[in-house]
Structure 1
Amino acid sequence: MNLPLFIGLRYTKAKRKNHFISFISLISMGGIALGVMTVIVVISVMNGFNKEFQQRMLSTVSHATISAFSGEHLTDWQQAIDIVRGQPDVIGAAPYIQTEGMLQGYRTEGALIQGILPDLEQQVTEFQDNLRYGAMEDLQAGEFNIILGIDLAAHLGVGPGDTVTLYVPEFRTTAVGITPRLKRFTVSGIFEVGMYEYDFKLALIHLEDARRLMRLPQAAAEGVRLKVDDLMRAPLIVRELAPELDGFYRIRDWTQEHVNFFKATRTERMVMFIILSMIVAVAAFNILSTLVMLVTEKQADVAILRTLGLSGSQIMGIFMVSGTLIGLIGTAIGTIAGLITAVNINSIIQTLEGWFNTEFLSKDVYYITEISADIRSGDVITIVGIAFGLSIIATLYPAWRASRVEPAEALRYE
C-alpha cells in the first residue's frame, strides 16, 4: 500500500493518547454530515415546492396568452385561434373574459370571475379533472350558472343548487342614483385545485354570461389562452408564434406573466443554499482544528519519519489522508441521511404535526399545504462536491505545517 495512505489510515483509526482530539474528530464528522443532510433536504423541498406550485398553477392558468396590443377586448379571437391551431406545438386554445367582482351568499367575498367556453376551456386547463361536484358542461349560455372554488363556496356558505349574487365594477345610472351591476347565479359546480389562492378566489361562468354582464360587444373576449405540448419550451414557442400573429396581437408566456414570483423563488433558493453551506464550512474548520492538534501530538512521529527518508510531500499526504477520510465519512453519512429524510419528508411533517397538535402549513397562509421533495441528482452532486472539497481544503494548512517540522527540534526533549 502507498506509505502515506497507510500511515494516514493508521492515524485515523488508532486510539490516541489525547481523547479530546478523537472527540473533536467525531464532532467534525457529525457537523459535515448534519450540514450535508440539511442542505440536501432544504434544497429538495424547495425544488418540490416550485414543481408542485408550477403544476397546480399551470393547471388553472394558461401556458401563453394572446391579447390585443391596445389593451382592449378582442373582437376577432376566433381568427387568432385559427392562426395558432396550425402550429404543431399548440395543443389547445380558448377565449376568456376576466374581471373582479363581489360574490354574496350567506357572507360576502371578493373573487376573480372568469368567463369561459367550457368545451374549449378543457383544452387549456384542468378544471374538469379538479371538479368535486358538477361538470364544465353545466355552464350554458343564458342559464347564469357558476362554478366556485371549494374554499370560496365554504366561506360564502353555499353549495350546489344554491344561488349567489355577483356584483361587478360596472356602474349604471338609475332613478335612485348610480348602482353597481349585479346578477344572480346558481352554483352548478365546485372545484378544488389544491392551491388556496385559486380555491378561495376563483369563480367560473360562461363566456356569453360574462359578456352580457359586462355589456361587451358581440363575440368579444379579453384574450385567448394557449396550452403547448411542453410548458418548459413555452418561451421559445411564443417567440416562434409572434411573427405568425402579424403584429396585431400581443402574446406572453407563463414565465412572463409570473416572472416576479419565479425570480423570487430562484433568488431565495440560491441564498438558502449559500447560507446552509456555511454549516459545512464550519464543520470543515473543525477538521482543520483537529488536524492541527493531531500534528502537535505526532511531532515526534513526524520527525522520526523524516529521518527515515520521507519527503515533505509524503508527510503532507499522511495528514491529508486523515482529514479527507473524516470529510468523506461525514459527507457519505450526510448524503444518505439527507436522501432518506427528503424522500420521507411528508410523513415526517405529518408525524410532527400529530405530536405537537399543530399545522405547520396553514392553507390560508401558504400557497401549498403539503410538503414534497424533488431530489435532483445535479443538486446532490454539487452539494457533495462542495462538502468534500471544503474538507480537502481544510487539510492543507495542518498538512503543510507537519511537513515543515524539523526532526532535530522535535526530538530534542524526547
Structure 2
Amino acid sequence: MARFEWTVALRYLKSQRKQSGLSFQTFISISGVTVGVAALMATLAVMTGFQHKLRSKILGINSHIILTDGRGVPMAHPEMIQEQISKTKGVVAVSPFILGQAMLSSDGTVSGTVIRGIDPEGEKKVTSLSRYMISGHLRDLLTTNGKAKLPGIILGKDLADHLNLTPGDPVDVISPTGTPSAFGMIPKIRHFVLVGIFKSGLYEYDNTLALLSIDEARGFLAIPPGDVSGLEIRVNKIMNASPIAKTLSKSLGFPYWPRSWLQMNKNLFSALLLEKTVMFIILVLIVLVASFNIVSTLTMTVMDKGKEIAIMKAMGATQRQIMHIFMIDGLMIGGVGTLVGLPLGYLICFFLEHFYRLPNDVYFVSHIPVIIRMSDILSVSVAAIGVSFAATLYPSIRASRLDPIQAIRYE
C-alpha cells in the first residue's frame, strides 16, 4: 500500500484537537479488543492447565496402555506376551497387575475398595505412583510387618482417613465372594498391616484404591498361580498411546484387548475439549462486541471526513485506496489491541497461578494451573485481528462509494 494511505490512516486515528494522541473513540476501540484478548488468553491458559494437570494425575496412577483379556478372564502365563510387547516400537516398560474388589474393615468401620496387586519394582517403571506416596514405599509391600508378620497393604489418603488408619495399624480385607464350607459360603478374611499411604489428589483413587503385592492379591482373589488380570504398558510419548494400542491389537489379535489412557477416559477428556471450544467461542464474542466499537468509530470517521474523502477522490484517489485507508485503521486497532492484550493476559495468568489459592479439600490442586501454548496465542491473535478486519468492511466500502460531488455540495 502507498505511503499516502498509511499517512492518512494514522491521521484519522489521532485526536482532532491533539494530533499527538489518539482520539477517544480510537482508545475505546483498542481497549475493547485488549480486554477481549486478555480474557480469551487467560481462560484458554487456565483450561489448558487444568486439562494437563488432570491428565498428569490420571497417568500418575494408571499406565499409558492397559492390556487385558477381552473375555473377562485372567491372562494365563503372560510372560511370552509381555516379552512380545516389550519389543514393540515405542514401548518403554511392561508390568503385570491383578485387579479385584473387596471390603476393608477396621474397628467396626467398613468400606468398599478396589484391590490392585502390583509388582513394586515394575510399577515404578509404568506409573508415577511412587511419587504420590506420603508415607512408606511401594517396596514395603514385599515385607511382612508387625509381631504377627502380616503382609503389607497401601491405601489412598481418603480411604485411610475414612477407616481412621495410620501406618502400622492392622486392617482386615474381606472378599465379597467368600469361600465354600460345610455351613455354606462364609466370608474370606485376610489380615494385613498398613505400610503406606498415597495421595494422588483425585478422590476417585484416593478413596477407593488399595495396593497389595501381586502374590498376595493372587492368593486372596483365588487367581491361579502365574495368572494375572492384565499388563500395564508405558510408552515413550503419551500421545502415541492410542496408535501403539492399535498396533498391539493387530499384532496380538483376539482375545487380547489393549486400551490407551485416552480410550479409557474418552468421555472426560472429550467433555474438557468441548468445554474449552465452547469457552473460546463465547469469549470471541467479547472481541466481536469490541468490533462494534471499531465499526462505529470508522463509520463516524467516514461521516466526519466526508469532505476530505471527496477531495482525495477528486484529486485522483481510487476506491481501492480509500478502502485501504479505513482497513488500515481497523487492522491497527485490532493489532494494537492484540499486542497489548497478550501481555495483559499473561499478567492475569501469572497473578492467578501465584497469588490465587484453591481449597485443598475441594479441588485436586492447591493453585490454579496455567499453561500458555503457542497454538492458543496464535488462535487468539488470529481471531482478534480477523474480527477487527471484518469490522472494517462496511465503513471501508461506504467510504469508497462516497460521491465526491454530493459530499462537496453539502459542505
Q: Structure 1-normalised TM-score? A: 0.89
- Contiguous gaps of at least 5 residues in structure 2: 145-149
> 2:182 matched to 1:182?
no
The corresponding residue for 2:32 is 31
Q: Which residue of 1 aligns with 2:332?
A: 325
The change in CA–CA distance for 1:219 and 1:286 in structure 2 (over 3 A counts) is same
Confirm whether residue 287 of structure 1 aligns to residue 294 of structure 2: yes
How far, CA to CA, are the matches of 1:91 and 1:247 in structure 2? 23
Cα deviations by residue, 1:37-59 (Å, 9 ceiling, x for unpaired) = 11111111121122222222112
How do residues 116-265 of structure 1 correspond to structure 2 at under 5 angstroms?
116-140=118-142, 143-172=150-179, 179-265=186-272
What secondary structure does 1:171 align onto? strand
2:388 corresponds to which of 388, 391, 408:
391
Contact 1:196 1:368 in 2 (8 A): no
Q: Distance in 2 between matches of 1:269 and 1:404?
A: 42
Q: Report how far residue 26 of structure 1 moved.
A: 2.5
CA–CA distance in structure 2, aligned partners of residues 37 and 124 of structure 1? 39
Taking the TM superposition and a 5 Å limit, the aligned residue runs for 1:94-133 are 94-105=95-106, 107-133=109-135
Indicate the residue corresponding to 2:147 in structure 1.
Answer: none
Q: Quote the residue 1:354 is aligned against.
A: none
The percentage of aligned residue pairs carrying the same residue is 35
Mapped partners of 1:137, 1:348: distance in 2? 38
Contact 1:141–1:206, Cα closer than 8 Å, also in 2: no
The equivalent residue for 2:77 is 76
| Distance in 2 of aligned mates of 1:362 and 1:94 | 32
Q: How many residues align?
A: 401
Secondary structure at the residue paired with 2:60? coil
**1:378 alignment partner in structure 2:** 375
C-alpha distance in 2, partners of 1:103/1:24?
69
Change beyond 3 A, Cα 1:76–1:28: same
Q: CA deviation at 1:279?
A: 0.9
Is the 8 Å Cα contact of residues 95 and 231 (structure 2) preserved in structure 1?
yes
Name the CA distance, whole Å, in 2 between partners of 1:387 and 1:236: 36
Flag the 1:221–1:4 CA change in 2: closer, same or farther, 3 A: same
Residues 310 and 405, structure 2, Cα contact 8 Å, conserved in 1? yes
DSSP-derived class of the 1:146 partner: strand
3-state DSSP class of the match of 1:74? coil
Q: Distance in 2 between matches of 1:293 and 1:133?
A: 69
Deviations for 1:284-325, whole angstroms, at most 9, x for unmatched residues? 122101111121112122222223332222222222222222
Q: Look up the match of 1:409.
A: 406
Give the Å deviation of 1:248.
4.3
8 A Cα contact 2:179 2:186, kept in partner:
yes
The answer (yes or no) to whether the contact 1:95–1:224 under 8 Å persists in 2 is: yes
CA–CA distance in structure 1, aligned partners of residues 250 and 3 of structure 2: 67
1: CA distance between counterparts of 2:151 and 2:274?
A: 44
Contact 2:327 2:389 in 1 (8 A): yes
SS at match of 2:287: helix
Inter-CA distance 315–91: structure 2 relative to 1 (3 Å threshold): closer
Question: What secondary structure, in the 3-state scheme, does the structure 1 residue paired with 2:356 have?
Answer: helix
C-alpha deviation, 1:255, in angstroms: 1.7
Distance between the aligned counterparts of 1:299 and 1:43, measured in 2? 42
Q: Read off the aligned partner of 2:376 and give its amino acid letter.
A: D
Segments of structure 1 that go 5 or more residues without pairing to the other structure are 351-358
Give the distance between the partners of 1:318 and 1:126, measured in 2 at CA. Answer: 59
How far apart, CA to CA, are the structure 2 residues paired with 1:16 and 1:404?
28
Q: TM-score, normalised by structure 2?
A: 0.89
